[in-house]
């Protein structure tokens, strides 16, 4: 790919406003940080939906409350199915991640919107949240020395008296922990960004490209759901690995 190659993109509302009012510093500021701006728009949308869903809670729920209850129950079953009953305390965190990522993924399919998860800065920030919370949970549950023991592979017996193998395992697990946020963020960003580029490319074909465009839009919806699920599945597994060692220590 040459340096002059232009990646096709559909216009979004912030780009249109910035082009329409080039002298407005606020619009230019938002446009330069449009991925952050769109992520805040999703926060606002989710906040409004949550407010109306919880405003009048009833034993016979309405459509919005019922939809939220089904979603929350499904996420709780998903997390607890992997981590067991102890995983319920992580359902709010992992469930929020799933809903937030899903809405950001799908927002790129709405005209004049853009998926914030198509930017590595957004996905890396989400992955770092997982990384920090995971390290905090591991140290809190296992203790600092217990966490080091976990990273060293919990050497016992003859291995406990060796130095090379535990140090090698410690180094390997530290590298693995540091790589996780990078792999999490790049996987999500790459898939969503690829869909946005392909949709932008097909949009330039005019009427001839409509069949392919509609097909790709349907596939992009599936990708949005799958990638949000994969991100949260891996996050759940990471926490499950820590909790499993906690149970071994208690025993």
Q: Is residue 150 part of a domain?
A: yes
Q: Which of 146, 147, 151, 145 is nearest to 168 (CA)?
A: 151
| Confidence band of 249 (pLDDT split at 50, 70, 90) | very low
Chain Cα centroid distance, residue 86: 22
Tokens of 38: 């769109």
Q: Is residue 99 part of a domain?
A: yes
**What distance in Å separates the CA atoms of residue 174 and residue 185, rounded to the nearest whole number?**
18
Q: Is residue 229 part of a domain?
A: yes
Domain count, the chain: 1
**What distance in Å separates the CA atoms of residue 38 and residue 116, rounded to the nearest whole number?**
6
Q: Is residue 241 part of a domain?
A: yes
Tokens of 193: 């960004």
Please give the backbone phi and psi of residue 112, each rounded to the nearest 5 degrees, phi first: 65, 15
- Structure confidence by residue, pLDDT tens digits, 56-104: 777 777 788 888 889 989 999 999 998 888 888 999 999 999 999 999 9
- Structure confidence by residue, pLDDT tens digits, 171-180: 888 898 999 9
Domain of 82 in residue numbering reads as 13-250
Q: Is residue 8 part of a domain?
A: no
Q: Is residue 53 part of a domain?
A: yes
Count of other CB atoms within 10 angstroms of residue 232: 23
Q: Is residue 6 part of a domain?
A: no
CB of 88 within 8 A of CB of 77? Answer: no
CB of 236 within 8 A of CB of 83? Answer: yes
Q: Is residue 5 part of a domain?
A: no
**C-alpha angle with apex 121: 104 to 172, nearest 5 degrees?**
110
- Structure confidence by residue, pLDDT tens digits, 206-221: 777 778 888 888 899 9
Chain Cα centroid distance, residue 204: 30
Please tell me the pTM assigned to this model: 0.87
């Amino acid at each position: 790919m040459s340096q002059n190659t232009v990646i096709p993109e559909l216009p979004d509302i912030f780009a249109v406003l910035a082009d329409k009012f080039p002298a407005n510093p606020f619009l230019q500021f938002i446009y330069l940080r449009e991925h952050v701006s769109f992520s805040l728009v999703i926060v606002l949308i989710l906040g409004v939906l949550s407010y109306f869903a919880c405003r009048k809670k009833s034993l016979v729920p309405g459509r919005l409350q019922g939809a939220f209850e089904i979603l929350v129950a499904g996420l709780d079953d998903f997390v607890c199915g992997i981590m067991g009953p102890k995983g319920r305390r992580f359902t709010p965190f992992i469930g929020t991640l799933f809903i937030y990522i899903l809405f950001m993924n799908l927002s790129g399919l709405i005209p004049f919107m853009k998926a914030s998860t198509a930017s590595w800065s957004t996905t890396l920030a989400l992955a770092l949240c997982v990384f920090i919370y995971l390290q905090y949970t591991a140290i809190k549950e296992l203790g600092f020395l217990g966490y080091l023991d976990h990273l060293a592979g919990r050497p016992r017996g003859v291995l406990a008296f060796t130095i090379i193998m535990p140090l090698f395992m410690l180094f390997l697990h530290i590298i693995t922990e540091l790589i996780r946020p990078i792999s999490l963020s790049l996987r999500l960003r790459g898939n969503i960004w690829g869909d946005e580029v392909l949709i932008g490319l097909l949009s330039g074909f005019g009427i001839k490209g409509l069949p392919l465009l509609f097909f790709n839009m349907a596939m992009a919806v599936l990708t949005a759901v799958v990638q949000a699920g994969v991100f949260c599945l891996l996050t759940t597994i990471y926490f499950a690995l820590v909790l499993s060692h906690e149970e071994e220590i208690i025993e």
